A and B are shown apart, each in its own frame.
Chain A
Amino acid sequence: MPQVAIQAHALTRTYRRGSEDVRALLDVTITIPPAAFAIVLGPSGSGKSTLLNLIGGIDRPTSGHLTVDGLALHDLSERELDSYRREYVGFLFQFNNLLPNLSALENVALPLIAQGRSWAQARLQAGVQLADLGLGHRVGHRPAELSGGEQQRVALARAVVTRPALILADEPTGDLDLESAQVVLDLMSSLNRDLGATFVIATHNPRLESRATHVFELSNGRLAPPVPRP
């Protein structure tokens, strides 16, 4: 698995809301080294999710430069961004965003299908991934039949099943009880350690700081200087 570094320079994202421009992210410059376990802290509306959107290639900056593993995301075409997300990025959403009509196994298999694998291959690999995360007995269940913690573990399995170099998580434990949150965080830490994937996690939970190698803090779209971690 390639280890990716992220470099953002003067990254700005503004949205048009009615006749008004809303600056969600303003002049953000950061560097995240390969295999980092980076936390982006800040209150709601501070620009955390916008930053993750830009790094994940599901949105484009209004201005500035953003490079991931040497790829200048701000210059990529739509098709190249599709390919970038497919090959480099795993997403972990707050409310998991599992597809309700598919089983846990099929949800986890989706990114592999997007990469062009057959359903048979994808199912096999997804089953292994779910078993690795302790969900081998829940593969045939649909999201509605799983607990919140199990759903988030399935979502984590979907995020890592393609072995992406970069995993982006937005409030991954925000909807979980303490125990489930602990399980998910432990899994993310071990995946970061074992797979060498770069994790960027947006949260307003300062307790996550203890696990982070890098912490960034956003406020009103602006960034405080990064705090190196041991």
Chain B
Amino acid sequence: MIHLALQDLRHDRLTFGFSVLGLGILVFAFLLLIPLSLAVTRLGEAGGLPQNLILVEQNVLQPELSRVPPGLAGSVSAILGERLERLDPVIFRILRVEDHPIQLRGVAPEAWTTTFQLQLVEGTWSSAASEIVIGQLAAQGGGWRTGSEINIYGRPFRVAGIADGPGTKTQTIWMSYAAARALFGDDQGAQLLVAHLRPSADPLASRQDLEDGLRSIGAPFDAYFEDALLRQYGAALNDLRLLSLVTASIAFVAVTLGAHNLAWLAAEERQRMLGVLRAIGFDRRDVARYLALRAGMITVSAYLLALAAAVVFIRLGLSAETFTVGGTQTDLSLSPGMAVLGLLLACAASLAGTWLSVSRVLTASPSGLLGRGPGATFA
């Protein structure tokens, strides 16, 4: 039956090619949408520092739109009291720097190693207002090294060093609060206030006290743990994730329907041939095996084509497997597990489609397949 299916496909190359292409496009969509959905999920699951409380204006989804008034720091210090280790205003921007989406954080350099736990990978910490430190991902994304000069918001800055830290992987540039303030002006002030708690402080109780205290003075600010803020930001992407999953499911159903249509067409076109096979001694299982093998070969060929296209697209089409939303970077990758899952699902869809379409042919008698009836010839 393998030989028969192979010969069948070999001598009908045009149909075979179009079938593979048609199914391949659907499988390609499926193979891309699942990693996209997982990547979006990871955006919302990025880790954070539980000892850091971030104050951001209420009802503001994107941190860069928040604004911290000058008097807020004093109120927070008063509420948290001894539990507070450091309190730093942060100028936060998402902007394109030399065509790369970047999170820029302007915060006092003393907080870099304490509050944000940055560690130098190479170079030095910045010592002048015109110097910056960049994150590893920013260095990779922008191709910048220590000593590079970067134009930010119309001003040149020198990369003093490259640093890495825990938490969400973002393409980040760090500069001093003073430098950021000088760069962007005083109009928008700081966007965030980051309260770094002492290790002995209970983060949950501190947060509760802070929110209660801010509410009591009518300050319209929410306090998040850093990861919670990211989660909230990530939650905004849930619709996208859901959409990806729904589209992936549609692609899966489309593969099933595509396989169904191909198998149905193949069975209808080959009724007489199948009738001949039955007449000369092949049973229903043989015929089912032939049709399943034929559909399977088309599906596997379509899958391999789609897999190759997906790998090429991810590697070449989306800049070295990274996927960036609002300066937050996550991997868009097709793991071997996902690839195998895609193959299994494609084969399952194909078999299900084949089974649905050929059941009538399989239950028909040989004479029915040969078009037998009164007045018909044995032809």
Contacts and interface: CB of A to CB of B under 8 A. Distances in A.
A202 B378 contact: yes
Contact of B378 (A49, A78, A106, A114): A49
Interface string B92-120: 00000000000000000000000000000
Interface in B331-379: 365-367, 370, 372-379
Contacts of A24: 373-374
Contacts of B320: none
Given A53-B372, A101-B10, 5 more contacts: A56-B279, A86-B280, A93-B378, A94-B378, A171-B378
Nearest to A52: B378
A170 interface: yes
Given A49-B372, A59-B367, A101-B12, A94 B379 contact: yes
A93 B286 CA distance: 21
B378 A170 contact: yes
A97 interface: yes
A143 to B, nearest CB: 11
B204 interface: no
A-B pairs with lowest CB-CB distance, top 9: A170-B378, A86-B281, A114-B281, A58-B366, A59-B367, A94-B379, A82-B283, A101-B11, A24-B374
B374 A50 contact: yes
Contact of A97 (B7, B276, B284): B276
Interface of A: 15, 17, 22, 24, 44-45, 47, 49-50, 52-53, 56, 58-60, 78-79, 82, 85-87, 90-91, 93-95, 97, 99-102, 106, 110-111, 114-115, 119, 158, 162, 168-171, 174, 202
A91 B283 CA distance: 16
A44 B376 CA distance: 8
Contacts of B275: 58
Contact of B377 (A15, A85, A110, A170): A170
Given A91-B280, A94-B379, A15 B8 contact: no
Contact of B280 (A94, A102, A110, A169): A110
Contacts of B372: 49-50, 53, 58-59
Nearest to A13: B374
B60 to A, nearest CB: 67
Nearest to B367: A59
A114 B282 contact: yes
Interface in B1-15: 3-4, 7-8, 10-12
A158 B281 CA distance: 12
B375 A44 contact: yes
Interface of B: 3-4, 7-8, 10-12, 272-273, 275-284, 286, 365-367, 370, 372-379
B7 A106 contact: yes
B291 to A, nearest CB: 15
27 contacts: A17-B374, A22-B374, A45-B375, A49-B377, A49-B378, A53-B372, A58-B278, A58-B365, A59-B372, A79-B283, A82-B282, A82-B283, A82-B284, A86-B280, A91-B276, A91-B280, A93-B378, A97-B379, A100-B11, A101-B11, A106-B7, A111-B281, A119-B3, A170-B377, A171-B377, A174-B377, A202-B378
A58 B279 CA distance: 6
B374 A15 contact: yes
Contacts of A102: 4, 7
B7 A101 contact: yes
B365 A114 contact: no
Contact of A53 (B10, B280, B282, B378): B378
A22 B373 CA distance: 9
B328 to A, nearest CB: 55
B375 A99 contact: no
A108 to B, nearest CB: 10
A56 B192 CA distance: 87
A15 to B, nearest CB: 5
A151 to B, nearest CB: 13
A53 B367 contact: yes
A57 to B, nearest CB: 8
Contacts of A111: 280-281
A183 B110 CA distance: 104
B379 to A, nearest CB: 4
Contacts of B4: 99, 102
A56 B280 CA distance: 10
Nearest to B273: A99
B281 A94 contact: no
A47 B372 CA distance: 11
B379 A82 contact: no
Nearest to A24: B374
Contacts of B373: 15, 17, 22, 24
Contact of A58 (B8, B273, B367): B367
Contacts of B283: 79, 82
B379 A171 contact: yes
Contact of B281 (A22, A78, A85): A85
A94 B379 CA distance: 5
Contacts of B12: 101
A58 B373 CA distance: 12
A22 B292 CA distance: 36
B201 to A, nearest CB: 78
Most buried by A among B11, B377, B379: B377
Nearest to A14: B374
A87 B12 CA distance: 32
B339 to A, nearest CB: 32
B14 to A, nearest CB: 13
